[in-house]
Structure 1
Amino acid sequence: METVSMSMPNYSYVFKFEEDFAEKERRQWMSENWYVCMYYIGAYMIFIVVGQHYMQSRPRFELRNTLALWNFFLAVFSIIGTMRTVPEMLFVLRHFGLHHSCCVAGPSFVQNNTVSAFWSYLFTMSKVPELGDTVFIVLRKQPLIFLHWYHHVTVLIFTWYR
């Protein structure tokens, strides 16, 4: 197994909340509380069934502006998260290559980089409110395809267990 010397990308500014992020404690909490993820998924699946049944005899909601605002905030969050994590991604690719970034087991750069750790954690936690995408589909009486809800369920599980 190869040995890797760990240095960090150069960020122009690190915020206090990023610097103080306790990555190991958050990772441990998620590992010890994996069932919380399953509660969210269970509630989500129940909402789909009950929500669709409830909406059968009711008119669809017109949520165009609310949906636009929802998508705007999700997009802003994604842009900020991307801006904060891309420097590390480029650093790893430049200094260690694609193979190392994807295939080599060993210490995680995220464990040593509180900026990427913080934004990776928020990315994982954002999967819970993103289940709300389905609320718009159900309330607007749009067709809910298997791929939509399957994607939300599996992405929440995969990111929780990262």
Structure 2
Amino acid sequence: QKAFSLSAAYLILIFGVQRVMKERTGYKLRTPLVLWSLSLALFSAIGAHRCWKHTTFLISTEGFRRLACDQTFYVHHITKLWAYIFILSKVLELGDTVFIVLRKKRLIFLHWYHHVTTLIYTWFAYMQSAPGGGFFAAMNFTVHTFMYSYYAMRAAGVWVPRYIAIAVTFSQILQMLVAVIVNILIFFWMEHEVFHTCWSSLLFSEVMYLSYLVLFCNFFYKTYLTTAKKSKGE
């Protein structure tokens, strides 16, 4: 219920601010945005390090199947803290959109849809101790480390080669693809592994990641492939 309330408040806020800013000049917010992005990049790097320690230990001692179906991430004396921090970080990351609307940048559907559904799902998954949470968190932290580092450089006015932007988006697509595949594997392994989960959690996760995969692929095509064709005069 809290996740739904936060999501509703988020949508009302961002579209409300966007409406208010319609007749105003956008704020630059260069320094705050650099600091914001750098802070999230550093936080994500620490989170990735902590979560990968857990996942690599599991995969090296018990194999990938055990990792995918793992629920100890939510109860281990160290990782349970990071599980909770990961959930809270999805609330913090809503601040990304505030910068977009205050700077009067284009707010695309993928952006706010991704934030809302991720917030709702992560809280739901945490309550259900969804299998594979540690692996999913590790992937997400890793991608966000590079993504926010890229955002920080762009905000600081540093020239970044186009292939870096392509690599960031590709890493997001790869994350979604891996998550879709892992969810399918969990579905087939449910009868053979001892863990407790509900169908709604697994279904929610699969539908969400599939939608992300489609949307990010569409974004990749329109942003990098279509523009490349236009630049060549095709």
**What is the letter of the counterpart of residue 53 of structure 1?**
R
Q: Distance in 1 between matches of 2:113 and 2:63?
A: 32
Q: Distance in 1 between matches of 2:27 and 2:121?
A: 32
Deviation at 1:112, TM superposition (A): 4.3
Does residue 1:133 correspond to 2:99, yes or no?
Answer: no
1:78–1:143 CA distance, 2 compared to 1 (3 A): same
Aligned position for 1:31:
none
Deviation at 1:116, TM superposition (A): 1.0
Does residue 1:55 correspond to 2:21, yes or no?
Answer: yes
**What is the letter of the counterpart of residue 88 of structure 2?**
M
Aligned position for 1:29:
none
Contact 1:85–1:115 (CA<8 Å) still a contact in 2?
no
Runs of 4+ in 1 over 3 A off after TM superposition: none
Within the candidate set 50, 57, 77, 1:84 is matched to: 50
Q: Distance in 1 between matches of 2:10 and 2:87?
A: 16
* TM-score, scaled to structure 2: 0.51
- What aligned pairs does 1:29-108 form with structure 2 within 5 A after superposition? 35-102=1-68, 104=69, 108=71
* Structure 1: gaps spanning 5 or more residues: 1-34
1:129–1:112 CA distance, 2 compared to 1 (3 A): closer
Aligned position for 2:79:
116
Q: Distance in 1 between matches of 2:75 and 2:21?
A: 48
Q: What are the superposed Cα offsets for residues 36-65 of structure 1, whole Å, 9 maximum, x if unpaired?
A: 111110111101221111000110001111
What is the count of residue pairs matched by the alignment?
A: 125
Deviation at 1:111, TM superposition (A): 4.3
Identity %: 43
Aligned position for 1:145:
108
* TM-score, scaled to structure 1: 0.73
Name the structure, 1 or 2, with higher relative contact order (CA <8 Å, separation 6+).
1
Greater fraction of residues in helix:
2
Contact 2:74–2:83 (CA<8 Å) still a contact in 1?
no
Contact 1:138–1:144 (CA<8 Å) still a contact in 2?
yes
Q: What are the superposed Cα offsets for residues 95-115 of structure 1, whole Å, 9 maximum, x if unpaired?
A: 12112221x4xx722244221
Q: Secondary structure at the match of 1:62?
A: coil
